[in-house]
């Protein structure tokens, strides 16, 4: 049996970020992933805002930050748009396979070890350690460590193996489906394009995330309980846009997105959970790359304190859950209310909003500079013919 200081299960953004931080602190860290290639297949539209580059200390590299983005265009069900465009780059669309490989190379350079085709089949506590059974390239191996960081994504089973139920409830999961399309045009390649409406995309939105000239991730995220599949709605959307339907598919991606069932506890004895496995995703737009990397780094910080104190108890590791809510979770809980707001809007509401609210209004609201009274006045003026909408907006804000 091989023994490590910390074992991380899952080599996605959460796991690779945790591995790099542990290795920086000279902790003997091993990352196991069942995939045969890091970053592949991607389950992602690959958008990452500039704020995350700053927060995570990432420098955009031409190798993986492939398309600079200057803002977003939001479309109502009938196609009216509100365009938010900045003069400076606001984020990038990534080539995630290259991005994750760059994260992996960085972690290994710092001293972490990674093993692929390593599917963790079971985990149990034994004499203060966790012992895991792994199917590694067809061979059964055992590893042990006093601490496991479960970064095993939306299908997470590791926490459950160690007695913590992290099952997602159906209303808190979106279903994502996407084609990488090439040979398409007719949209501004400097913007992300988001299409709203209950007919188009129940509870969610369709997107075009430009990736290269004439190539984009065209996808959809919808409520997991929607009547039809995400593929059905996406195909319908593409069929109604001749500039997209003439394209060819070069990749198909699908996956679930945990959008709001935040966990009260993301730790137990010998265990921390980070990333999608801990439901750490923005409940409004479903973005989780930055949030999972931040959480992976935080888990590594608490893990290294646990190693220094040789304390892997639930009590000590509870610091992680506490710190995550203070750093990000409480803010995301507020944003969950935004998702609930979107769920209440009818297609007629979306049209009315598109007619009345300007890009300037959206920026003013998003800036956080308006107090509650100023927001009420803005909405009351703009939405005078729909007092019901003012009520919904104010409840959220
Ligand atoms: C369609 C779609 C579009 C999205 N678009 C965006 C976007 O544009 N921007 C954004 O920020 N986020 C987006 N997301 C969300 C983002 O992809 C996730 O939040 C992010 O990947 C979470 O990272 P993670 O490391 O927690 O999990 P993952 O990236 O899912 O990594 C988990 C890893 O664990 C491994 N694993 C699981 N079980 C085991 C096991 N038993 N043994 C060994 N290994 C195991 C898996 O193979 C996997 O590599 C999107 C998601 C979807 C589905």
User: What's the pLDDT band for 233 if we cut at 50, 70, 90?
Assistant: very high
Pocket test for ligand 1, best of 7, 55, 288 (most atoms within 8 A of CB): 288
pLDDT, mean of residues 182-188: 97
Computed over every residue of the chain, the mean pLDDT equals 93
Residue 134 alpha carbon, nearest atom of ligand 1: 42
Q: How confident is the model at residue 353 (pLDDT cuts 50, 70, 90)?
A: confident
> Is any ligand 1 atom within 6 A of the Cβ of residue 35?
yes
**Torsion from C-alpha of 331, 195, 209, 337, nearest 10 degrees:** 10
With contact defined as beta carbons under 8 Å apart, do 216 and 233 qualify? no
Which residue has its alpha carbon closest to ligand 1 atom 50?
44
Q: Which residues of 340-370 are buried (b: 16+ CB within 10 A; e: fewer)?
A: ebbeebeeebbbbbbebbebebbeebeeeeb
Contact 353, 390 (CB under 8 A): no
CA-nearest residue, atom 52 of ligand 1 = 44
Q: Which of 38, 49, 136, 152 to mutate to test the pocket of ligand 1 (most atoms within 8 A of CB)?
A: 152
258: preceding bond cis by omega (within 30 degrees): no
Instruction: Give me the CATH code for the 170-258 domain, please.
Output: 3.30.9.10
For a mutational test of ligand 1's pocket, the pick from 44, 90, 137, 283, i.e. the residue with the most ligand atoms closer than 8 A to its C-beta, is 44
Q: According to the model, what pLDDT value does residue 157 have?
A: 95
* CA pair distance 394, 361, nearest whole angstrom: 15
User: Which element (helix H / strand E) includes 198?
Assistant: none
Residue 358 clears pLDDT 90, i.e. is over it: no
Helix ranges (DSSP H) in the chain: 13-24, 50-56, 96-110, 158-161, 230-239, 242-245, 289-309, 314-324, 330-344, 347-356, 359-367, 372-382, 387-396
Q: What is the pTM of this model?
A: 0.94
CATH of domain 2-67+93-168+261-336: 3.50.50.60
Is pLDDT of 166 > 90? yes
Across 2-23, average pLDDT:
98
Q: Is 39 in the pocket of ligand 1 (CB under 6 A)?
A: no
Residue 264, burial from CB neighbour count under 10 angstroms (0-12, 13-18, 19+) = exposed
146 lines ligand 1 (CB under 6 A): no
342 pLDDT above the threshold of 80: no
């Amino acid at each position: 049996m091989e023994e490590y200081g910390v074992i991380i299960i899952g080599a996605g953004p959460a796991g690779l970020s945790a591995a790099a931080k542990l290795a920086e602190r000279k902790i003997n860290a091993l990352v196991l992933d069942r995939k045969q290639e890091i970053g592949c297949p991607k389950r992602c539209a690959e958008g990452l805002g500039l704020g995350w580059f700053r927060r995570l200390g990432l420098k955009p590299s031409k190798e993986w930050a492939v398309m600079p983005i200057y803002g977003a265009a939001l479309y109502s069900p009938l196609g009216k748009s509100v365009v938010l465009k900045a003069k400076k780059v606001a984020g990038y669309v990534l080539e995630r396979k290259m991005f994750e490989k760059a994260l992996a190379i960085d972690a290994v350079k710092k001293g972490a070890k990674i093993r692929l085709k390593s599917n963790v089949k079971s985990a149990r506590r034994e004499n203060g350690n966790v012992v895991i059974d792994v199917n590694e390239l067809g061979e059964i191996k055992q590893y042990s460590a006093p601490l496991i960081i479960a970064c095993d994504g939306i299908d997470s089973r590791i926490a459950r193996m160690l007695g913590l139920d992290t099952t997602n409830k159906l209303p808190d999961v979106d279903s994502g489906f996407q084609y990488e399309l090439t040979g398409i045009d007719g949209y501004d390649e400097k913007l992300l394009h988001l299409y709203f409406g209950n007919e188009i995309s129940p509870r969610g939105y369709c997107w075009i995330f430009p990736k290269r000239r004439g190539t984009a991730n065209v996808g959809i995220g919808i409520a997991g309980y929607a009547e039809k599949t995400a593929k059905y709605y996406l195909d319908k959307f593409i069929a109604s846009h001749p500039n997209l339907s003439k394209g060819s598919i070069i990749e198909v991606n699908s996956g679930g997105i945990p959008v709001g069932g935040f966990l009260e506890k993301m730790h137990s004895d010998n265990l921390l959970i980070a990333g999608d496995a801990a439901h750490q995703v923005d409940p409004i737009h479903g973005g989780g790359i930055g949030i999972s990397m931040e959480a992976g780094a935080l888990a590594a910080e608490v893990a290294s304190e646990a190693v220094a104190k040789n304390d892997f108890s639930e009590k000590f590791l509870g610091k992680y859950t506490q710190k995550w809510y203070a750093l990000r979770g409480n803010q995301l809980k507020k944003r969950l209310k935004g998702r609930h707001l979107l769920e209440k809007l009818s297609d007629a509401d979306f049209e009315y909003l598109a007619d009345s609210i300007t890009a300037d209004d959206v920026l003013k609201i998003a800036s956080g500079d308006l107090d509650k009274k100023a927001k009420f006045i803005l909405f009351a003026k703009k939405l005078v013919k729909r007092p019901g909408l003012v009520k919904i907006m104010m409840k959220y804000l």
